[in-house]
Amino acid sequence: MIYVYAPSMPTIFFSLQEFKMEKITILTTNPSIKIFCETSGINLKFWERNSDTSLKGMFNYKNKLHKIASELQNNSFLFCYTGFDLWGLYLMRILKKKNKVFFFKKDPVYPKRNNLFRLFESNYRKIFFNKLIYLIVTRKLFDIFEIYKTHYYLGQSEERCKKTFLEFTSSCNSSIFTYNLQKILKAYNIPDYDVLFIDDGGLYYKFNIDILTKLMNILTQKGYKIAVKPHPTFQLSNNFFNDFQTIPKSIPSELLINKGKLVIGVLSSSLVFFAKYQPTISLTNLVAWKSDRIKKVCKTIINQGKIKTPDNITELLQLIKYIKII
């Protein structure tokens, strides 16, 4: 049995490539992952995220994690991320005392920015203050990382994780993944489709409905079935998508690999994954962004993969014809 701490779906996808689902117990505070495990029949230990950010609330949550750790001794654990979920990283530190804890990095690499000279920046001061708060409560020093100019997050460097935890050697066994995938898709009863639209919730932009309508109308007129995959946490970004078949939001998008002929989205990180295996398009240049800064941050994510990013509707339709969808 392996315990896998999974704050997000990419860790779930990775673990399903490594272990048969019957040998996994998922640890998570993510409600969507809870639903996924319950639907798929994967062992689960779930607890609520900390919602009280006062010092008293944080110390209470710290004690809760120590209690959880005391119930999990002499086992093997795996985690695959370095940032954002600081309580999870803290839990891994606690578990390390009486367990074998393995680390395998799966999240993107961003530069570390532990620089006091940046304190004149308001965003840096905020993240630095949060760093101090977590230091007071957990007695663990976290690092500051920069996704883009003035956009920061807290985490633990890959180098420190490798020094602190055991290194996990990935096998990515295709037969194990196929076994798990068949059981999960059967449990979810995913219908067939040709085009998958991955919706990320649209928090940072608004769709151009004219462009979206032209795109969907052309695909529909050609007889292609369109399915929409909502974000695990957010509602659909636009009522426009209610007219199309919807994939359950709790299933990781990566498990839908090769079911369709084309994947379309805006800024979902899963687009980077899909682009490795099948035609993938991002509409990042065809939506109205709420700020240029957010647009630049999001484009750094999209630019990590072989994703096509047309600049106008003409290029979009030509691109679709080129990849032989139409």
- The reported pLDDT for the residue numbered 257 is 79
- The residue among 293, 265, 139 whose CA lies nearest residue 202 is 265
Partners of 25 in beta bridges: 3, 43
CA distances from 213 to 197, 221, 264 (A): 13, 12, 14
190-322 shares the fold of 2-167:
yes
- The reported pLDDT for the residue numbered 305 is 65
Partners of 26 in beta bridges: 4, 44
Give the burial class of 20: count Cβ atoms within 10 A of its Cβ; 0-12 exposed, 13-18 middle, 19 or more buried: middle
Classify the C-alpha dihedral 272-274-278-284 as positive or negative.
Answer: negative
Pick the CATH number of 190-322 from 3.40.50.850, 3.40.50.300, 3.30.2080.10, 3.20.20.70: 3.40.50.850
For residue 41, how far is the Cα from the chain centroid? 21
Q: Which CATH number describes the domain made up of 2-167?
A: 3.40.50
pTM of this structure: 0.85
The answer to whether the beta carbons of residues 233 and 218 sit under 8 Å apart is: no
- The reported pLDDT for the residue numbered 298 is 77
Taking the domains of the chain in order of start, what are their residue ranges?
Answer: 2-167, 190-322
Instruction: Give the helix/strand (H/E) hosting 277.
Output: none
Residue 218: strand, helix, or coil? helix
- The reported pLDDT for the residue numbered 232 is 84
- Token pair 């899963």 is at which residue? 270
Per-10-residue mean pLDDT for the chain, 326 residues long? 94 94 97 96 97 96 98 96 96 97 89 79 91 96 85 92 94 89 92 90 87 88 89 83 89 83 87 87 91 78 79 88 65
